[in-house]
């Protein structure tokens, strides 16, 4: 059915279940839409970990929110006493993020920001891929074989430390970070937050295919986190447990890592 829809109705909007309690608008042309339509969620192991980790009242930051899978999950988990701050620079995907948050009645819990998170405030150039492949958009110079770059859009950039200071946010419990190679920049712009003893647990993607566009290797992300006192963990089967991770010799294969201080990630 998905193959048929993608071929004959690529622009047809579909409202699909997301997990057990949520719903989301997808299109047959969307890279992420395929996984949600077929599997119910994108990256089930990460989804299950986040769902098990979050508690009512937590403050969550979603960096690279895209259509809002983790924004919606986080808002559902943290409830009325919690808060979710989402960051998505792509014009089209920010519209989808807004729609999906409203669709699920979660607007009161979410602060949506059409900005990119980096190491300095200002502007940057975001690669714009063909519609449906915005998930590959990056501030770096990398190219993806799965889709074509069709242009660029200028986007605002912020640092997490400035964002927290400007809004009087005194703590963050959890950060999901999937920003196509800009992870090291985001970490550098959050030095004050991440140096704290109660620094947030982070779920992030590492892969040289993303970071090469910025001129560094994903090992630099690992080293940066270790210098801040973080320990790295791999997700167990279906995301239900964590295993302490050893530093890989290379990051040719993209992997999701949980970074946490102390035993926080095991709670």
Q: Where are the domains of the chain?
A: 41-266
Residue of 49, 1, 11 lying closest to 201 (CA atoms): 49
pLDDT tens track for 131-169: 888 888 899 886 666 677 888 999 999 999 999 999 999
Can you name the CATH fold of 41-266? Rossmann fold (3.40.50)
- Cβ–Cβ under 8 Å, residues 69 and 42: yes
Rounded Cα distance between 40 and 43, Å, is 10
Helix 91-103, helix 69-78: angle, nearest 10: 30
Phi, psi dihedrals of residue 125, rounded to the nearest 5°: -105, 120
List the beta bridge partners of residue 18: 22
Rounded Cα distance between 50 and 141, Å, is 30
What is the structure's pLDDT at 149? 84
3-state secondary structure of 36: helix
Rounded Cα distance between 67 and 65, Å, is 6
Mean pLDDT of 201-213: 93
Residue at token pair 């912020």: 158
Mean pLDDT of 171-188: 96
């Amino acid at each position: 059915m998905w193959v048929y829809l993608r071929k004959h109705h690529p622009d047809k909007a579909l409202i699909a279940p997301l997990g057990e309690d949520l719903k989301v608008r997808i299109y047959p042309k969307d890279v992420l839409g395929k996984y949600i339509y077929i599997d119910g969620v994108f990256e089930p192991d990460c989804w299950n970990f986040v769902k098990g980790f979050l508690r009512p009242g937590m403050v969550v930051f979603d960096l690279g929110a895209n259509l809002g899978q983790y924004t919606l999950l986080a808002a559902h988990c943290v409830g009325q006493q919690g808060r979710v701050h989402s960051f998505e620079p792509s014009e089209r995907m920010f519209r989808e993020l807004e729609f999906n948050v409203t669709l699920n009645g979660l607007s009161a819990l979410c602060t949506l920001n059409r900005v990119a998170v980096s190491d300095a405030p200002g502007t940057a150039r975001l690669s714009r891929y063909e519609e449906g492949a915005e998930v590959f958009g990056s501030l770096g110079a990398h190219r993806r074989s799965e889709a074509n770059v069709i242009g660029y859009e200028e986007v605002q950039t912020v640092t997490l430390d400035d964002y927290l200071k400007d809004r009087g946010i005194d703590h963050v419990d959890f950060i999901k970070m999937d920003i196509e190679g800009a992870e090291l920049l985001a970490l550098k712009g959050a030095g004050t937050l991440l140096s704290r003893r109660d620094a947030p647990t982070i779920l992030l993607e590492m892969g040289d295919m993303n970071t090469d566009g910025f001129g560094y290797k994903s090992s630099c992300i690992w080293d940066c986190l270790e210098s801040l006192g973080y320990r790295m963990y791999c997700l167990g089967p279906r995301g239900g447990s964590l295993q302490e991770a050893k530093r890989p010799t290379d990051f040719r294969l993209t992997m999701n890592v949980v970074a946490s201080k102390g035993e926080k990630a095991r709670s």
